[in-house]
Amino acid sequence: MTRKILVSGASIAGCAAAWWLTSFGFDVVVVEKASEFRDGGQNIDVRGAGREVLMRMGLEDAALAAGTGEEGTAWVREDGSVVAEFGQTEDGSDGPTAEMEILRGDLARLLFDRSKDRAEYRFSDTIKSIEQTEQGARVVFESGDTDAFDLVVVAEGVGSPTRELVFPGENEPRWLDMSIAYFTIPRTPDDDKLWRWYHTTGGRGVSLRPDRNGTTRAMLSVQRPTEGEQDWPVERQKAWLHEEFGDAGWESERVLAGMDATNDFYFDALRQVQMPRWSNGRVVLTGDAAWCVTPMGGVGATLAVVGAYILAGELSQTDDIGTALRSYDEHLRDFVENAQKIPKIAPRLANPHSEFGLAVLHGTLKLASAPGVRDVFAKVLGGKSKDIELPDYGA
């Protein structure tokens, strides 16, 4: 049986993989380029099969208790009045706001705390090169250290450098023509427990979401093809957002002021990772490095924990790594590809550029929130979450 495994990346996918791999008896080393475990991050949700995985880990109740307290989603006009509001559906299923809404760092922290005494975590380092042999993979780290592993699990982000090192030219990003900035701002008495979402002309959006830390999570989004904004220095990104949202209305002035003072600003252009294969010899991808669906797919965190569980489970069933990795791909491929089926026009329709487009969006949302229709539409907005049956690996 494969014994020594390197996991690159200590966020949700990497920490979940570390927990499950050690549960099945593997020796695990986790390498993370940050100097320490990274808390923080914006709202995510875990649905369907993802919650089942957390339940099998004994973490479902803890994740619910660490939730943001968000109780629903409301689209608002410039004066703050509500166009449409969606809460939990009558049957308790998830809508735009899931029952398990949690900050990225809080979920990752739960997984890290459960795995840190079982796996070896090495911070302030990252993979420089990987040499594969029939016996395994010899890894050279940026620190100059070297080590040998039976398998390397790449659980990095959408721009994973290790993926590009091992799978050169195999990932052609599918850009979704949407740029988003996330950050935390001070809470005001008017902030409630709803995710409040405001759209205005030019494909611009502003949203505010609650957390349990006495602050508010803000998001600024712009729908148009990227011109490389994701690679700009932070100060240039912030200056660009000031230009874009200076006349946007609603809470934009407050959000921009909070952005200037925040210490957790994150900016990215949404793109999907669509890999024809997730493994190459003794290296395998998981999480966003393998299949980033973007926040528009709605199941990123769910896929992170489900992928970790299935990868570890398949490796526990056979001594043949190739067989295990093929089974891992076969179990997840349809679920991933289904989650990635976001029409390119969807971001444009959901983020209108004209007053007419805004009127159509608001009219549609108002109609969809009417009694008798609300539950069905809320489930559509909630995304895909229950399209995979989890194997029982006997952990």
Kindly report, residue by residue over 219-232, the tens digit of the pLDDT: 999 999 999 999 99
Distant-in-sequence contacts of 275-278, Cβ < 8 A, 24+ apart: 275/163, 275/167, 275/170, 275/171, 276/170, 277/167, 277/170, 277/329, 278/325, 278/328, 278/329
Residue 378 lies in a domain: no
Kindly report, residue by residue over 157-170, the tens digit of the pLDDT: 999 999 999 999 89
Residue 282 lies in a domain: yes
Question: What is the helix, strand, coil percentage profile of the chain, to 5?
Answer: 35, 25, 40
Predicted confidence at residue 91, as pLDDT, reads 45
Residue 230 lies in a domain: no
Taking 70 as the threshold, does the pLDDT of residue 297 lie above it?
A: yes
Kindly report, residue by residue over 2-35, the tens digit of the pLDDT: 689 999 999 999 999 999 999 999 999 999 999 9
Question: Per residue, what are the HEC states of 260-304?
Answer: HHCCCCEEEEEEECCCCCCEECCEEECCHHHHCCCHHHCCHHHHH
Residue 65 lies in a domain: yes
Predicted confidence at residue 93, as pLDDT, reads 53
Taking 80 as the threshold, does the pLDDT of residue 385 lie above it?
A: no
Least-confidence region, from 142-151, 198-207, 382-391: 382-391
Residue 311 lies in a domain: yes
Burial 301-313 (b: 16+ CB within 10 A, else e): bbbbbbbbbbbbb
Average pLDDT, integer, range 277-284: 97
Q: What's at 214, amino acid-wise?
A: G
Taking the C-alpha atoms of residue 32 and residue 9, their distance in angstroms, rounded to an integer, is: 5
Taking the C-alpha atoms of residue 111 and residue 32, their distance in angstroms, rounded to an integer, is: 15
Predicted confidence at residue 16, as pLDDT, reads 98
Do the Cβ atoms of 88 and 72 come closer than 8 Å? yes
Q: List the domain range (segments joined by +) for residue 137.
A: 4-71+100-172+272-339
Do the Cβ atoms of 35 and 315 come closer than 8 Å? no
pLDDT range class, residue 374, cuts 50, 70, 90: low
Taking 80 as the threshold, does the pLDDT of residue 97 lie above it?
A: no
Taking the C-alpha atoms of residue 83 and residue 200, their distance in angstroms, rounded to an integer, is: 13
Kindly report, residue by residue over 172-190, the tens digit of the pLDDT: 889 999 999 999 999 999 9
Residue 349 lies in a domain: no
Average pLDDT, integer, range 309-323: 96
Taking the C-alpha atoms of residue 165 and residue 182, their distance in angstroms, rounded to an integer, is: 28
Average pLDDT along the chain: 91
Residue 369 lies in a domain: no
β-bridge pairing 151-154 and 4-8: parallel
Q: How many domains does the chain have?
A: 1
Tokens matching residue 27: 């020796």
Taking 50 as the threshold, does the pLDDT of residue 318 lie above it?
A: yes
CATH number of the domain encompassing residue 309? 3.50.50.60
Predicted confidence at residue 66, as pLDDT, reads 93
Predicted confidence at residue 387, as pLDDT, reads 65
Predicted confidence at residue 344, as pLDDT, reads 81
Do the Cβ atoms of 42 and 133 come closer than 8 Å? no
Least-confidence region, from 43-52, 92-101, 254-263, 271-280: 92-101
223 versus 40: the higher-pLDDT residue is: 223
Burial of 72 (C-beta count, 10 Å sphere; 0-12/13-18/19+)? middle
Predicted confidence at residue 379, as pLDDT, reads 54
Residue 365 lies in a domain: no
* DSSP secondary structure letters along 195-213: EEEEEETTTEEEEEEE-SS
pLDDT range class, residue 296, cuts 50, 70, 90: confident
